Amino acid sequence: MANTDLDQMREHMLAAIDAAAGLDALDAVRVEALGKQGRVTQLLKTLGTMSADERQVEGPRIQGLRTAVADAIASRKETLERAALDARLAGETLDMTLPADAPLSGTIHPVSQVMDELAEIFADLGFAVATGPEIEDDWHNFSALNIPESHPARAMHDTFYFPDQPGGERKMLLRTHTSPVQIRTMLSQKPPIRIIAPGRTYRSDSDATHTPMFHQVEGLVIDKGITLGHLKWTLETFLKAFFERDDITLRLRPSYFPFTEPSAEVDVGYTWQKGKRVIGGSEGWMEVLGSGMVHPKVIAACGLDPDEWQGFAFGCGIDRLAMLKYGMDDLRAFFDGDIRWLKHYGFSALDVPTLSGGVGA
């Protein structure tokens, strides 16, 4: 093909690309030039029929045309996409100065309310509130808690892992429980330690009683001469204050957690009243938390001498506590953001839980 013909073709195609007013029009130009039957594609096919000498001249020219057209299409596509996004963002503008039709007053979410109640109850027992990151590494979330890599508990946690980072030493994940805050606290503070750690946790699970994001509270006491008796008294005092009744009955069942030895699951008793379960008494039992004496290996992993320091720990689902105390039956509704649900189950911002005024608002 003569030089001028090829130049003309290039100019013609670049002009068509420039003139394409939308993504569909641009794609039509692309098909016409670079599609299976496209004009550039046809030209490329002619290379096979040429002599070697001819091909040496024509090859780079036709390839050059193809590259120029493909580059122009990519750049026009980016411009058109950006324009489409700008138009969409401009169209979605909200005028925040417009008056609201119906006056809305926010409420305190039951999960926030229960977290405030827990902080109030445990502050009275001398516990501070500790926090840790939701994006954790596998050492804090598992290994330091005596859950080595091959341990079946790792599989049971339905963990959300992040893709491996180049140069990253530890695997990153969304924490599956609040227990890593135990580790971070022991590493950063000298005992005696008394903390609770409320916060978000994540597992790949979803039904009426499980959501991929949920809330737990962790408790940790490290001191000298700590026994199972201290654990039992603390949990009993906590649950009586939380449910605001003195007739709470607890049942400690032997259990297993890798990070405690011995371990116990704690049930609270309930009675049936008008077809509903009411906390108190012992007609039935509901599991509310896991607990135990901190495993010597966990204490040692944090650089403390387990012969000198002992402690107890517990972990408890906050959403479940809220459901039991305030009578919701579907956990998923907690996170739907439905105004009617929030109005019904939410709390007034002025009702701050206090022990003297009643933690339940």
- Measured from each CB, the residue nearest to ligand DAH is 315
Can you give the binding site for ligand DAH, defined by CB under 6 A? Answer: 177, 179, 218, 257, 260, 290-292, 313-315
Nearer to ligand DAH, 38 or 180 (CB): 180
Nearer to ligand DAH, 265 or 351 (CB): 265
Residue in 90, 156, 145 with CA at minimum distance from that of residue 263: 145
| Cα 218–Cα 219–Cα 220 angle in degrees, nearest 5 | 125
Q: How far is the CB of 80 from ligand DAH (least distance, A)?
A: 49
Nearer to ligand DAH, 14 or 222 (CB): 222
| Cα 319–Cα 320–Cα 326 angle in degrees, nearest 5 | 85
Q: How far is the CB of 218 from ligand DAH (least distance, A)?
A: 5
Length of the chain: 361
Residue 104: Cβ within 10 Å count: 10
Q: How far is the CB of 83 from ligand DAH (least distance, A)?
A: 49
Q: How far is the CB of 288 from ligand DAH (least distance, A)?
A: 11
Quick check: 272 and 256 in contact, CB under 8 A?
no
Q: How far is the CB of 108 from ligand DAH (least distance, A)?
A: 25
Nearer to ligand DAH, 153 or 361 (CB): 153
Measured CA to CA, the distance from residue 57 to residue 252 in angstroms comes to 87
Nearer to ligand DAH, 185 or 291 (CB): 291
Q: How far is the CB of 91 from ligand DAH (least distance, A)?
A: 45
Q: How far is the CB of 303 from ligand DAH (least distance, A)?
A: 19
Nearer to ligand DAH, 132 or 315 (CB): 315
**Sign (positive/negative) of CA torsion 320, 326, 331, 335?**
negative
Measured CA to CA, the distance from residue 235 to residue 321 in angstroms comes to 13
Nearer to ligand DAH, 113 or 141 (CB): 141
For the chain, state the CA radius of gyration.
32
- Tell me which DSSP letter residue 35 carries: S
The two three-digit tokens of residue 205, written as one number: 């699970």
Helices first, then strands: H and E counts in the chain = 12, 10
